[in-house]
């Protein structure tokens, strides 16, 4: 019979070997992905929930505005790239992050094209509207020009179990939206005003990007999502189709004989690889709750578009 300490020694060796192999894989992947992609049309994905920074949970990675704006700038400065194609499959997300992506697209000097596959809604549609031309699948979910915010309120639960909320703030609205207390009528009025202001800003941006009148765009901006066919009829996109359609449009617009797509993406780091491996075997159930409870103001109130 082998001693127990020998068995534990083998386990430790296996774990160390796993980390070493992961580290080597990270370096190999970074080496092959850090070089300039070959092609004359850059393809940049906007996939998943839009956030300011990259977040990975439940094996899903968000669309980071930090990463996407850097990729747009990189493609725009490349002498071999003649156009940029944003391939979109996103329901939207953070208002700030969506604006950052839309602004980066608007700043690009090279022609920009947006391709909405399954979903290009809310903040993702804002990004698409900033492109010079936009294409969407006939059955895609497009538009949804609106702003929302929601949170779970625990005030009733606290009362039911005879628990109290001790309020200590400097500034009477510092804990506005805190889930552990009821939202007052005045607080609800304040929050609704903020949402309305963001909504109006969103409407103005889309109207300008799509060369539509403000009143016309406001009538469309009910938060309703449109199918691609409806979005075309309303002037929210330029054409129905898929990636092949985008390819033909780019050829025609720029007088190109051939389009070769170059995939622009953020190189995977060791942390990305390790996180991906770990997430296959474990779900971080408490991650979302932990983020909410650790906010500076202890408020879980968030604004998304």
Residue 32 lies in a domain: no
Q: Total structural domains in the chain?
A: 1
Cβ neighbourhood burial of 92 (10 Å; 0-12, 13-18, 19+): buried
Q: Does residue 301 belong to any structural domain of this protein?
A: no
Question: Can you give the pLDDT at residue 65?
Answer: 96
The C-alpha atoms of residue 178 and residue 172 are separated, in whole angstroms, by 12
Torsion 142-144-149-150 (CA) sign: negative
Residue 10 within any structural domain of the chain: no
- In a domain? residue 1: no
Per-residue pLDDT tens over the stretch 149-178:
665 665 666 566 676 667 677 888 887 877
* pLDDT tens readout for residues 91-150: 999 999 999 999 999 999 999 999 999 999 999 999 999 999 999 999 999 999 988 766
90: in domain: yes
Q: How far is CA 200 from each of CA 30, 99, 219, 305, rounded to the nearest angstrom?
A: 42, 13, 12, 12
CATH number at residue 92: 3.90.226.10
Give the residue-averaged pLDDT of 37-55.
Answer: 91
Mean pLDDT lowest for which of 4-13, 163-172, 232-241? 4-13
Q: Which residue segment(s) compose the domain that 174 sits in? A: 39-293
Give phi and psi for 2, each to the nearest 5.
-75, 140
Residue 300 lies in a domain: no
* Residue 2 lies inside a defined structural domain of this protein: no
Positive or negative, the Cα torsion across 109, 229, 125, 223? positive
- Whether 153 is covered by a domain: the verdict is yes
């Amino acid at each position: 019979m082998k001693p127990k300490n020998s068995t534990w020694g083998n386990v430790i060796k296996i774990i160390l070997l796993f980390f070493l192999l992961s580290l080597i894989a990270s370096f190999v992947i970074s080496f092959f992905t850090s070089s300039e992609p070959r092609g004359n049309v850059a393809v940049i994905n906007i996939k998943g929930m839009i956030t300011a920074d990259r977040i990975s949970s439940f094996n899903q990675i968000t669309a980071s505005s930090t990463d996407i704006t850097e990729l747009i700038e990189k493609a725009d400065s490349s002498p071999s790239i003649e156009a940029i194609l944003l391939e979109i499959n996103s329901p939207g997300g953070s208002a700030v992050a969506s604006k950052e992506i839309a602004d980066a697209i608007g700043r690009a000097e090279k022609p920009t094209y947006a391709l909405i596959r399954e979903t290009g809604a809310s903040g993702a549609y804002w990004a698409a509207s900033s492109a010079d031309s936009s294409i969407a699948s006939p059955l895609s979910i497009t538009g949804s020009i609106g702003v929302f915010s929601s949170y779970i309120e625990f005030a009733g639960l606290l009362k039911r179990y005879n628990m109290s909320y001790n309020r200590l703030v400097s500034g009477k609205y510092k804990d506005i939206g805190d889930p552990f207390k009821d939202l007052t009528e005045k607080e609800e009025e304040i929050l609704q005003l903020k949402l309305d202001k963001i909504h109006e800003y969103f409407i103005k941006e889309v109207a300008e990007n799509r060369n539509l009148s403000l009143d016309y765009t406001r009538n469309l901006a009910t938060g309703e999502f449109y199918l691609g066919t409806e979005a075309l009829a309303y002037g929210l996109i330029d054409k129905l189709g898929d990636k092949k359609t985008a390819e033909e449009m780019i050829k025609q617009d720029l007088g190109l004989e051939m389009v070769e797509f170059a995939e622009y993406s953020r190189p995977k780091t060791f942390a990305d690889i390790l996180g991906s491996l770990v997430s296959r075997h474990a779900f971080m159930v408490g991650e979302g709750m932990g983020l909410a409870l650790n906010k500076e103001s202890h408020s879980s109130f968030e604004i998304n578009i």
